């Protein structure tokens, strides 16, 4: 992959209707480390050759030349044919929305899973484009696709498909490993909670606030920056899901951060990151974090998309309306979210530490029911060892120490059952 950081770009955007907003694509450029030096928008239907009409194409070419831009960033999904034509016409590399997002993801990916997912998404992106180049006879002399009686297009396709298959198999193996980790964590008495929602909603900030251990992780360091410039360049901050311990009420939970949703991405890109969302789908409860500084229309759309993504989630869903410190129209937004999610949102400010106790209470209520069993074990080393095991795996109520230790133990049903079994084997 070519590194586009520190490149300069002309932003180009075509829509059928005005006004044409470029704030978001500019924020994406900034997140990708690309400096925007000019922009050209055009209101007209899609052109079959260039996507843009001839006038805009000429202007873009002119801006590229005059501003000495390295790239043209198009806020749209360009099919391979149009991208190829446009590139030839403007005399600079053309980067569409998906490619830009992939650049940002590639830059942020740190864990093995995140890197594999980015690579998978890139291969899916590149395949049709590489084919378009081959079909236009661009590959002469390229390594691996020599001419001379070969069938380069078919060979290229087979090569990409094999690499895609290998990556998916590797990701499947990671998924299986994750399943075992989740099972082991539940057996250790943890409830699993995931934070989900759009990018920039405040998931990671909330996670840091709720976590027991205040040591910083790799995405940390700017939790209290609230100005918009800072928020903007923190898009897609979390590609590498972090898991931290937290205590809510008397429950010990593991909180996992997930990749933020982002609008208007092609399906293949979203599905490349689907395995990351398994953390959310398989959690005991999901905090759906919504940015209260968005307007009602944005909130409505984002909540709906989030609910679609989480449609097959196992756990209870707790909506959280975050950033109350900077939001207006809170009552309207609260009703809107309640309406869509069938649950009143907890209103918080992660940066101002507001509403977090209410959030803990709601979360405790949303976690799966526990089972309470009465246990009695000999008051021996073995018995005391068992008691501390119980402390580690659930809640111990009113222990009484005599010849025997008698207490109630409350835990996830499977853990309570295991404790009953173990209690019987404790020796005098």
Ligand X SMILES: Nc1nc2c(ncn2[C@@H]2O[C@H](COP(=O)(O)OP(=O)(O)OP(=O)(O)O)[C@@H](O)[C@H]2O)c(=O)[nH]1
Annotated binding site for Mg(2+): 204, 238
Q: Provide the binding-site residues for Mg ion, judged by CB under 5 A.
A: 203-204, 237-238
* Inter-residue contact 209 to 358 (CB < 8 Å): no
Q: How far apart are CA 221 and CA 199, in angstroms?
A: 17
Among 359, 326, 327, smallest CA distance to 344 is for 359
Q: CB nearest ligand X: which residue?
A: 260
Q: How far apart are CA 384 and CA 219, in angstroms?
A: 40
Q: Which does 272 bind (CB under 5 to 8 A by kind): Mg ion, ligand X, none?
A: none
Nearer to ligand X, 198 or 409 (CB): 198
Q: How far apart are CA 258 and CA 276, in angstroms?
A: 7
Q: Compute the least distance from the CB of residue 177 to ligand X, in Å.
A: 23
Q: Compute the least distance from the CB of residue 286 to ligand X, in Å.
A: 14
Q: Compute the least distance from the CB of residue 224 to ligand X, in Å.
A: 6
DSSP string, 169-227: HHHHHHHHHHHHHHHHHHHTT-EEEEEEEBTTSSHHHHHHHH-S-----TT-S-TT--S
* Inter-residue contact 14 to 219 (CB < 8 Å): no
Nearer to Mg ion, 111 or 155 (CB): 111
Q: What is the DSSP letter of 150?
A: -
Q: Compute the least distance from the CB of residue 32 to Mg ion, in Å.
A: 17
Q: Which does 226 bind (CB under 5 to 8 A by kind): Mg ion, ligand X, none?
A: ligand X
Q: Which does 139 bind (CB under 5 to 8 A by kind): Mg ion, ligand X, none?
A: none
Q: Compute the least distance from the CB of residue 161 to Mg ion, in Å.
A: 33
Residues placed in the known binding site for GTP: 197-204, 257-260, 322-325, 349-351
Compute φ and ψ for 404, nearest 5 degrees.
Answer: -120, 160
Nearer to ligand X, 139 or 231 (CB): 231
Q: Which does 201 bind (CB under 5 to 8 A by kind): Mg ion, ligand X, none?
A: ligand X
- Region of 144 please: left (phi>0), alpha (psi -120 to 50) or beta: left
Q: Compute the least distance from the CB of residue 278 to Mg ion, in Å.
A: 17
Q: Provide the binding-site residues for ligand X, judged by CB under 6 A.
A: 199-205, 223, 225-226, 230-231, 234-238, 260, 322-323, 325-326, 349-351
Beta bridge partners of 289: 197, 320
Nearer to Mg ion, 152 or 197 (CB): 197
Q: How far apart are CA 219 and CA 237, in angstroms?
A: 7
Q: CB nearest Mg ion: which residue?
A: 238
Nearer to Mg ion, 231 or 341 (CB): 231
Nearer to ligand X, 323 or 393 (CB): 323
Q: Which does 325 bind (CB under 5 to 8 A by kind): ligand X, Mg ion, none?
A: ligand X
In angstroms, the Cα distances linking 113 to 192, 273, 327, 330 are: 20, 9, 35, 38
Q: Compute the least distance from the CB of residue 44 to ligand X, in Å.
A: 33
Nearer to Mg ion, 96 or 237 (CB): 237
Nearer to ligand X, 139 or 258 (CB): 258
Q: Which does 234 bind (CB under 5 to 8 A by kind): Mg ion, ligand X, none?
A: ligand X
Beta strands in 16-169 (DSSP E): 35-43, 71-74, 93-96
Q: Which does 417 bind (CB under 5 to 8 A by kind): Mg ion, ligand X, none?
A: none
- Residues with Cβ within 8 Å of residue 234, at least 6 apart in sequence: 31, 200, 222
Q: Compute the least distance from the CB of residue 351 to ligand X, in Å.
A: 4
Q: Which does 202 bind (CB under 5 to 8 A by kind): ligand X, Mg ion, none?
A: ligand X
Residue 109, number of CB atoms within 10 A of its CB: 17
- The two three-digit tokens of residue 249, written as one number: 């009420």
């Amino acid at each position: 992959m070519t590194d586009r950081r520190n490149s300069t770009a002309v932003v180009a955007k075509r829509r059928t209707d005005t006004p044409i907003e470029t704030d978001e694509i500019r924020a994406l450029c900034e997140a990708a480390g690309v400096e925007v030096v000019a922009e050209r928008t055009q209101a007209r239907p899609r052109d079959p050759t260039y996507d843009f009409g001839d006038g805009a194409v000429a202007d873009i070419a002119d801006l590229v030349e005059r501003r000495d831009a390295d790239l043209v960033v198009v806020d749209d999904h360009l099919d391979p044919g149009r991208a190829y034509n446009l590139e030839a016409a403007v005399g600079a590399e053309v980067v569409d929305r998906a490619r830009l997002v992939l650049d940002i993801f590639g830059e942020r990916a740190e864990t093995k899973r995140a890197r594999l997912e980015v690579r998978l998404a890139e291969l899916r992106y590149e395949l049709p484009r590489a084919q378009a180049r081959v079909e236009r006879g661009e590959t002469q002399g390229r390594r691996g696709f020599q001419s001379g009686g070969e069938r380069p297009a078919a060979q290229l396709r087979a090569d990409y498909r094999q690499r895609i298959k290998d990556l998916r198999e590797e990701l499947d193996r990671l998924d299986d490993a994750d399943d075992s980790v989740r099972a082991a964590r539940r057996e250790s008495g943890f409830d699993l909670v995931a934070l989900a929602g759009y990018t920039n909603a405040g998931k990671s900030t909330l996670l840091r606030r709720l976590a027991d251990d205040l040591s910083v992780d790799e995405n940390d360091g700017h939790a209290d920056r609230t100005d918009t410039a800072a928020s903007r360049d923190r898009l897609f901050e979390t590609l590498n899901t972090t898991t931290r311990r937290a205590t809510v009420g008397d429950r010990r939970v593991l909180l996992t951060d997930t990749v933020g949703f982002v609008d208007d991405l092609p399906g293949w890109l979203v599905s490349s990151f689907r395995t990351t969302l398994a953390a959310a789908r398989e959690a005991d409860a999901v905090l759906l974090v919504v940015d209260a500084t968005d307007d009602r229309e944005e909130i409505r759309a984002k909540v709906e998309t989030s609910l679609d993504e989480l449609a097959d989630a196992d756990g209870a869903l707790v909506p959280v309306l975050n950033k109350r410190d900077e939001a207006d129209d809170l009552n309207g937004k609260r009703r809107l979210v309640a309406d869509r999610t069938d649950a009143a949102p907890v209103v918080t400010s992660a940066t101002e530490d507001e509403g977090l106790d209410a959030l803990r209470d709601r979360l405790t209520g949303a976690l799966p029911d526990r089972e309470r069993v009465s246990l009695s074990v000999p008051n021996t080393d073995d018995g005391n060892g068992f008691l501390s095991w119980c402390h580690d795996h659930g809640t111990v109520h009113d222990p009484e120490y005599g010849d025997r230790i008698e207490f109630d133990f409350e835990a996830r049903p499977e853990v309570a059952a295991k404790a009953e079994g173990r209690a019987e084997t404790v020796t005098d």
